[in-house]
Structure 1
Amino acid sequence: MSNPASPRYLALDVFRGLTLALMIIVNTPGGAISYAPLEHAVWHGFTLTDLVFPSFLFVVGAAMSLSMKKFEVHDEAYFLGRVFRRGALIFLCGYLLYWFPFFTPDLTLAPFANTRVMGVLQRIGLCYLFAALIVRYSGLRGAALFSVIALLGYWWILAFYGDYSLGGNAVLKLDLAVLGAPHMYHGEGIAFDPEGILSTLPAIVNVLAGYAAAERLRHKGPGRRTVATLAAAGAACLLLAYGWDALLPINKKLWTGSFVACTVGWDLIILAVLTGAIDMAGLRFGTYFFEVLGKNTLFIYLLADVAVIVLARLQVAGETLYRSVYQLLFLSWASPYNASLLFAVAYMLACWLVAYAMDRRNIYIKL
């Protein structure tokens, strides 16, 4: 248990909560079809949903600005122990989430042989760990240099060791060699992991960008110049992204450099808008809703995923409870698109109620 973020970073707390709310919505549609912005791009391209995960990494980096400041008064052993422990625990939570509920229907232990190794939380844990080490030992200049080398180097690896197709990319080749097909994601029709080992490298840059943005806020304050700088940097990243797209397609599942530039650009602009509206203009209407989610982000994310797994396992009259609730309460009166959206929003609100109850009791779970 720990204290929530400082009020000075209310815009960041709101941003974190907004990201989590949208992540729950896009992850839990009631039916098989959703409105286009709530679907990932099939391969190359970009949608609102594709912005969610990189935004999550961005706010991890922003939160790291506060924790790294606290680490300055501690020695190397304390720092290394904390960041390795935190990174490992986040990775382990992600792995256990894919292994859950741990037992087969006949109550035998679920085999490790088919458990996915990489994933969303695993990538967050790895990116946090490496970003913290980079910032600690090389500072912002080192982080900027790493970002350039990582994005260009990853581009070279993709081009030299494969192509940009689903079946011929270097990310797939490395994961097959190291992890093996049974330990990879199969939702693309083949064994391919959108959170693979190699594509974690450019994702570290999203965390470093969030850290740099928060450091700007911390040192310069949430004033007009800071907001203008964030917005200008965001616009520059977007220009880079869409120019680079002609050579290296924007692709979330490969996490290409152009995708990193695109998502960092949008995140900087969103942060600039939130900072201007909340920390400068004093807007507070509606902010508490997202602030609540932003204070227990990891716990609520895990809760949302575990609850879906449980609902999908429980059977009611030969149908899963997840499907039954969707059909009875939403699809029975709304169109498939609207029913799917309304179910997702309702599920997110149920998760929010848990976060609200925790906030009212001053419970803030951090690793």
Structure 2
Amino acid sequence: MKTNNANRLESLDILRGLDLFLLVGLQPILIAFGQIIDNRTYHTFLQQFEHVEWEGFRLWDLIMPLFLFMTGITIPFSLDRKIEQPGKEVYRHIFRRFVVLWILGMIVQGNLLEFNYETIRLYSNTLQAIAAGYLLVSLAYLHLNLRKLISLGCCFLIIYSIPISTWGALLPHDNFAFYIDRMFLQNFMDGVHWTDGSWSFSENYHYTWIWSSLTFAVTVLMGCVTGKLIKDGKDKDPIRTVWYVVGVGIACIFVSLLWQLQQPIIKKIWTGSMTLYSGGICMVLMGLFYYLIDVLKIAAPFRWLKVYGMNSIVAYVVASIIDFRSAVHSLTHGVEEYFPAYKDLILTVGNYGVVFLILLLLYRRGIFVKV
């Protein structure tokens, strides 16, 4: 646990807070509200808070890429201070963070604490995708300059795309990335069903992880390059940095829209076009937030989001593994009897309200949990 650092990039904390607020606050409440109203316009709007089934992109498909992207932004700010330290401390820091994120991912979605061979999942979570991307990019950052980092990202995209594009199909259960996961993860893959001691793959699970780690790394690398540009230009010409970051982001979006004619934008297998599309949006968002909050100093209306952003790992893990609905129900059951149609909405608001109160308590006491 660490206390707040006055030199932190405030726009990053606020943007991260927005990402977490959508994930562990707004989206579940909007969905719960949608269960009690019958309005076509609202339910059309609500589709933006659901993942696309296969090809395409919605607002909700940006949550995970933005999480990875912002992890990349922190790399120049954290590692530049550690590179000068003696010995191999910087490598210990990188591998320690990788291991902690990986284990947390197994706890959140891999059922690690069940101690059940049939339910353990080795690689199936956003935190593990962050861990994989962080490890690759951090090690590269220690040894490569900015131009070589960009070249490495292009190489990852090419390496990922060759078998994806030449496999012969790009269908949910027929693509190279899915084949790799089935080959190596076997029964430790998410979406596996056990019956009488034997297991089988689910027909409804389409996410991929091992081969997609290459493009996870590109998303983190896009954040790393953005962070490096902002860090180096912070005291020189921040306006020029903003234009550069936003311009490159728009260029990535344009390239991705052309590339999708050959390789569709598919978030579930993290295609190259999806990587550039989501990464480009992340760059534009970061550029705008940096300009508004760190350059123009218009931060006051958004600082409440730092309650989420300064303890993002706590917010994600607590909201994922602890359900406070029973505690909320013990306080609100009288109200629920008078408004039975609103029961799920009341419990959902209460559940994520408790999460917010926990984060607020940590924030006000200056407790910020890092890994």
**Structure 1 length-normalised TM:** 0.85
Residue 11 (1) aligns with residue 11 (2): yes
Structure 1 residue 39: deviation in Å?
A: 0.4
Residue 167 (1) aligns with residue 173 (2): yes
1:79 aligns with: 90
Q: Could you tell me how far apart the structure 2 residues matched to 1:292 and 1:14 are?
A: 9
1:95 aligns with: 106
Q: Could you tell me how far apart the structure 2 residues matched to 1:228 and 1:55 are?
A: 20
Q: Could you tell me how far apart the structure 1 residues matched to 2:244 and 2:221 are?
A: 17
37-46 vs 72-81, which deviates more? 72-81
Q: Could you tell me how far apart the structure 2 residues matched to 1:129 and 1:53 are?
A: 17
Structure 2: 5+ residue stretches without partners = 36-42, 194-200
1:365 aligns with: 369
Q: How does 1:178-327 map to 2 (within 5 A)?
A: 178-185=184-191, 190=203, 192=205, 194-221=207-234, 223-308=238-323
Q: CA RMSD in A?
A: 3.1
Structure 1: 5+ residue stretches without partners = 104-109
50-59 vs 67-76, which deviates more? 67-76
1:112 maps to a residue whose letter is Y
Structure 1 residue 172: deviation in Å?
A: 1.3
2:129 aligns with: 123
Contact 1:21 1:348 in 2 (8 A): no
Contact 1:135 1:142 in 2 (8 A): no
2:176 maps to a residue whose letter is A
Residue 112 (1) aligns with residue 117 (2): yes
Q: Could you tell me how far apart the structure 1 residues matched to 2:363 and 2:161 are?
A: 43
Q: Could you tell me how far apart the structure 1 residues matched to 2:78 and 2:204 are?
A: 37
2:55 aligns with: 44
Contact 1:30 1:343 in 2 (8 A): no
Structure 1 residue 122: deviation in Å?
A: 1.1
**Structure 2 length-normalised TM:** 0.84
1:21 aligns with: 21
2:197 aligns with: none
Please list the CA deviations of residues 281-311 of structure 1 after superposition, one character each: whole Å capped at 9, or x if unmatched: 2212322211121111111211110114x75
Cα separation, partners in 2 of 1:330 and 1:295, compared to 1, 3 Å: farther
Please list the CA deviations of residues 118-137 of structure 1 after superposition, one character each: whole Å capped at 9, or x if unmatched: 11111111111111001112
2:22 maps to a residue whose letter is L
Q: Could you tell me how far apart the structure 1 residues matched to 2:99 and 2:232 are?
A: 30
Cα separation, partners in 2 of 1:359 and 1:43, compared to 1, 3 Å: same
Give the count of matched residue pairs: 348
Structure 1 residue 220: deviation in Å?
A: 0.8
Contact 1:206 1:264 in 2 (8 A): yes
Structure 1 residue 279: deviation in Å?
A: 1.4
1:40 maps to a residue whose letter is H
Identity over the aligned pairs, expressed in percent?
22
1:107 aligns with: none
Partner SS, residue 52 of structure 1: helix
Q: Could you tell me how far apart the structure 1 residues matched to 2:367 and 2:349 are?
A: 24
Residue 134 (1) aligns with residue 147 (2): no
Structure 1 residue 268: deviation in Å?
A: 1.1
Partner SS, residue 318 of structure 2: helix
1:89 maps to a residue whose letter is V
Cα separation, partners in 2 of 1:216 and 1:100, compared to 1, 3 Å: same
Structure 1 residue 76: deviation in Å?
A: 5.2
180-189 vs 44-53, which deviates more? 180-189
Structure 1 residue 356: deviation in Å?
A: 1.3
Structure 1 residue 12: deviation in Å?
A: 0.9
Q: Could you tell me how far apart the structure 1 residues matched to 2:84 and 2:360 are?
A: 33
Structure 1 residue 5: deviation in Å?
A: 4.4
1:124 maps to a residue whose letter is I
Contact 1:234 1:266 in 2 (8 A): yes
Counterpart of 1:143 (choices 109, 131, 149) is 149
Contact 1:150 1:201 in 2 (8 A): yes
Cα separation, partners in 2 of 1:75 and 1:27, compared to 1, 3 Å: farther
Counterpart of 1:69 (choices 51, 74, 80) is 80
Contact 1:184 1:191 in 2 (8 A): no
Structure 1 residue 164: deviation in Å?
A: 1.2
Q: How does 1:346-365 map to 2 (within 5 A)?
A: 347-365=351-369
